Amino acid sequence: RFLPALSDGAKIATSAMAEPDGSSWSDLATMAVKDGDGYRISGEKTLLTNAPSADVVLVYAVTDPEKRAAGGITAFVLDASTPGIRRGPSLETMGLHTTEVGSLVFDDVRVDADAVLGQVGDGAAVFEHAMMWERSLLSAGQVGQMQKMLDKTITYARSRKIDGKQIGKYQSVSHKITDMKMRVEAARLLTYRAAWSLDNRPREAALHASVNKVYVSEAYVKASLDAVQIMGGKGYLAEHNVERLVRDSIGGTLYSGSNDAQRSAIAAALGL
């Protein structure tokens, strides 16, 4: 019903998980109460990518308060124009200004049983599966930005001169660029490893996804800061489009599960 239009870009979607009081399963307050052959959903979601203009909403709600993550959360897919859904204003963010972020309020929203994605009570599994894919693949864009910064920084270091000498000849600059190169190659390989695991090692995929997400997002932050340092005043000016990447990169340590949460997941996978 929704996938063809989402695949060709005719429609966009938002994943409604995060709430004002937290994003853990124990904190989830959005409820879906049985109503005949369907449900009525009530609650508020926030910090949602694409929420201000989304056509399709994937919302996670509690269907059994006692079970919660152990079979008490259900995922629902519905049209954003469904009566009872109210959009909040676009939220101003530090970076990633080309991506809209907002909130949604579900005010006794009536949905039919066919709005359930998967099975009733499988919401936690649906979410974790989706996040595993997201954490594995979103880093590809970050690797691309890191490569772009590396290329731009090398060009600048070759052309900018101090006392008639290219700044790239100074060890303090060349070593920063060398580190940028090593980080981008490591990030690229981790991204490939995480993506490969999705198809070939599904039991290990969640671990590789978390390792990939943490390393690449933090390498992206370091690369963007190094680029600003190497370009100096020009790097700080908005017109050169480098300082923007610093602001954008910070978001990568927060979205799709914070890096602190991912470190805890990695520790658990290691038996710690």
Instruction: Choose the catalytic residue: 134, 185, 204, 218.
Output: 134
- DSSP assignment string, 208-227: HHHHHHHHHHHHHHHHHHHH
**pLDDT value of residue 22:** 78
Q: Cα dist. 195→104, 137, 218, 250 in Å?
A: 31, 7, 19, 23
Other residues' Cβ atoms within 10 Å of the Cβ of residue 265: 19
End-to-end CA distance of the chain: 43
Other residues' Cβ atoms within 10 Å of the Cβ of residue 138: 18
**pLDDT value of residue 45:** 96
209/265 Cα distance (integer angstroms): 10
**pLDDT value of residue 25:** 84
**pLDDT value of residue 59:** 97
Q: If residue 5 lies in a helix (H) or strand (E), which one and from where to where?
A: helix 3-7
**pLDDT value of residue 24:** 82
**pLDDT value of residue 71:** 92
**pLDDT value of residue 26:** 82
Q: Identify the segments of the chain with pLDDT beneath 50.
A: none
Query: Is 134 tagged catalytic?
Result: yes
For 17, phi and psi rounded to 5 degrees? -115, -55
- 37 and 23 in contact (C-beta within 8 Å)? no
The pLDDT tens digits for 60-69 are 999 999 998 8
Nearest to 180 by CA among 211, 154, 213: 154
**pLDDT value of residue 126:** 95
Sign of dihedral through CA atoms 233, 238, 239, 243?
positive
Other residues' Cβ atoms within 10 Å of the Cβ of residue 116: 21
Cα torsion through 156, 159, 161, 164, rounded to 10: 160
